Amino acid sequence: MREYDLFIDGEFVPSESGETIDAQDPSTGETVATVANGTPADMDRAIAAARKAFDEGPWPGMDPKDRAKVMLDVWERLAEKAGEIGELETADAGHTIRNSSLFSVPYSNEYWRYLAEAGGKLNYTEPVPKYVFPTEAWEFVERVPFGVCGQIIPWNFPYMMAIWKIAPAIATGNTVVLKPALETPVTAMALAEVIAESDIPPGVVNVVPGDGPTSGEALVSDPRVDKVAFTGSTEVGRRIMQLASSTIKYCTLELGGKGPNILLDDADLEIAVPGSMWAMYLHSGQICHAGTRLLVPASLYDEVIARVVELAEGFKVGPAADFESDLGPVINQTQLDTIERYVEIGQQEGAKLLTGGERMTEGELSKGFFFQPTVFGDVTNDMKIAQEEIFGPVLTVIRYEDADEAVRIANDSIYGLSAGVWSRDTSRALATARRLRAGTVWINDWHLVSPAAPFGGFGQSGVGREHGEWGLKNYLDVRYVHVSQTTSKDQKFWFQVLGL
């Protein structure tokens, strides 16, 4: 059995309370590892270490290229350990082994590599366009790290989220305290183990799993923390923003979504319908940017519904570690209860349950948290199941008459994280895509994002962007420097203003 302590100031230390939690495998209910449960006092220690590493340590002042080099050594180790980390992600977070070995873990490592290199190459100094008033000066801006970043992540893609947070922050010279979700702390600790063996100085990265409402709030509220980066639900995001306001912390928030997925009437259904299943059912729908609202033209509705139901019923749901499983479990009992509640709500609202809708408890599935791939037809966009995030394998299918209506429905949401359009005619798809209020829009694709591209949401899906130059710059404050080019008294107009 693996045991992980908290990672603070370059060392693994027990929680001050001595408390641990059992990380559970959602496929089997078995314990994957025991992990120290960080208290607010542990957060205090971690913040102090990150503060010291920023204020006194070499990391913020290092040549960005040297930071990149150190980070690339870490990446090599992560790449070597990808198989092992993938197995841990499968055990702790229920990623099917096909997902963790082909997608979630290797793809996350790519983010580490790309962001390390991009942080090394970024322009940290930029000239200000020449502006001569009132007197000549040379002006430039310097981009400087914020300082200590408090980072909080959810349970759905724990390894990816840990990398998405730590890599851009430290590549730009910040130090971090990361709080993984208590539900899935294991792969963030595996990452911490690799960091512990590297040349990243102690205190630059601290990883403290702990309870959100206590230890998470302690992190966000602490005046020694300069920036907060949060990924999770919109509800908790609101609370984070409130807490961060007490000391005017810079905040980036990656929150919920209810992705509208528009099939135009000329879509290639051989690709678009399976593509819509990929958009919806990857990781059993527990993805913020999943395509959860499928918008289908009335003329194709019956044909598309028949195909969607056939594909949903064809999924093999099973233990995540089984290579045969297309879909694995959902994360826990609470999530099962939430999904079940929404299935009831959908039926009460008058949507048509076309397939699924129940827990799966036969045979080996009885030990885990499995739910049937579920499809609701005859959904209207005002229903709760079309407006609220379910975070499970529940697709809502909505009919529309023309493209204007599809766009109206797509944008009628508090969220604006992701959207997609399927069409054989790219210019037509583009014209529709440009009207969608979403941070990411896919055309004839889904889920593929890039470490070079900005990621984030419109509306209540969040504030700010992660990744690419946009994301790296969100970890850098801007210092404007004005160097006067005038030397004599009579050239200094402020002598006159104050009568000096």
- Taking CB atoms, the residue at the shortest distance from ligand NAP is 212
Is 251 one of the catalytic residues?
no
Instruction: Check residue 239 for interaction with ligand NAP (CB under 6 A).
Output: yes
Q: How far is residue 144's CA from residue 64's CA, in Å, rounded to a whole number? A: 11
Q: How far is CA 11 from CA 48, 175, 208, in A?
A: 14, 15, 12
Tokens of 220: 């966000």
Instruction: Check residue 416 for interaction with ligand NAP (CB under 6 A).
Output: no
Select 153 or 195, whichever has its Cβ closest to ligand NAP. Answer: 153
Query: Which residues contact Mg ion (rule: CB under 5 A)?
Result: 23-24, 92, 184
The helix/strand/coil state of 183 is coil
Q: Site residues for ligand NAP, window 180-209 (CB under 6 A)?
A: 181-183
Interacting residues of 31 by C-beta distance below 8 A, sequence separation 6+: 1, 22, 23, 24, 25
**CB of residue 379 vs ligand NAP: minimum separation in angstroms?**
19
Instruction: Check residue 391 for interaction with ligand NAP (CB under 6 A).
Output: yes
Instruction: Check residue 212 for interaction with ligand NAP (CB under 6 A).
Output: yes
Residue type (1 letter), 148: V
**CB of residue 391 vs Mg ion: minimum separation in angstroms?**
15
Q: How far is residue 393's CA from residue 399's CA, in Å, rounded to a whole number? A: 20
Nearest to 360 by CA among 377, 340, 385: 340
**CB of residue 456 vs ligand NAP: minimum separation in angstroms?**
7
Select 257 or 468, whichever has its Cβ closest to ligand NAP. Answer: 257
Select 368 or 462, whichever has its Cβ closest to ligand NAP. Answer: 462
Nearest to 355 by CA among 325, 310, 304, 316: 310
Select 186 or 300, whichever has its Cβ closest to Mg ion. Answer: 186
**CB of residue 132 vs ligand NAP: minimum separation in angstroms?**
44
Options 87-95, 175-183, 300-308, 489-497: segment touching ligand NAP (CB under 6 A) = 175-183
Select 188 or 273, whichever has its Cβ closest to ligand NAP. Answer: 188
Q: Which of 148, 200, 220, 225 contacts ligand NAP by CB under 6 A? A: 220
Select 93 or 264, whichever has its Cβ closest to ligand NAP. Answer: 93
Pairing relation of β-strands 6-8 and 11-13?
A: antiparallel
Residue 317 has what DSSP assignment? B
Supply φ then ψ for residue 349, to 5 degrees: -75, -10
Expressed in angstroms, the distance from the first to the final Cα of the chain is 76
**CB of residue 96 vs Mg ion: minimum separation in angstroms?**
15
- Given Mg ion, ligand NAP, none, residue 312, with its beta carbon under 5 to 8 Å by kind, binds none
Interacting residues of 245 by C-beta distance below 8 A, sequence separation 6+: none
SS3 readout for 339-378: HHHHHHHHHHHCCEEEECCCEECCHHHHHCCEECCEEEEE
Is 254 one of the catalytic residues?
yes
Interacting residues of 357 by C-beta distance below 8 A, sequence separation 6+: 343, 372, 374
Options 6-14, 95-103, 216-224, 316-324: segment touching ligand NAP (CB under 6 A) = 216-224
Question: Of 251, 288, 389, 466, which one is the catalytic site residue?
Answer: 288
**CB of residue 104 vs Mg ion: minimum separation in angstroms?**
14
Instruction: Check residue 155 for interaction with ligand NAP (CB under 6 A).
Output: yes
Q: Site residues for ligand NAP, window 274-333 (CB under 6 A)?
A: 288
Select 371 or 400, whichever has its Cβ closest to ligand NAP. Answer: 371
Q: How far is residue 452's CA from residue 472's CA, in Å, rounded to a whole number? A: 10
Instruction: Check residue 336 for interaction with ligand NAP (CB under 6 A).
Output: no
Select 200 or 255, whichever has its Cβ closest to ligand NAP. Answer: 255
Question: Of 87, 183, 254, 389, which one is the catalytic site residue?
Answer: 254
Tokens of 48: 């102090």
- Given Mg ion, ligand NAP, none, residue 417, with its beta carbon under 5 to 8 Å by kind, binds ligand NAP
Contacts 24+ apart (CB under 8 A), 188-193: 188/153, 188/158, 188/159, 188/162, 189/4, 189/7, 189/33, 189/35, 190/81, 190/84, 190/85, 190/88, 190/159, 191/78, 191/85, 191/159, 191/162, 191/163, 191/166, 192/4, 192/7, 192/12
- Given ligand NAP, Mg ion, none, residue 295, with its beta carbon under 5 to 8 Å by kind, binds none
Options 42-50, 148-156, 169-177, 300-308: segment touching ligand NAP (CB under 6 A) = 148-156
Instruction: Check residue 216 for interaction with ligand NAP (CB under 6 A).
Output: yes
Residue type (1 letter), 134: P
Residues in contact with ligand NAP by CB under 6 A are: 152-156, 179, 181-183, 211-213, 216-217, 220, 231-233, 236, 239-240, 254-257, 288, 389, 391, 417, 462
- Residue numbers annotated as active site: 254, 288
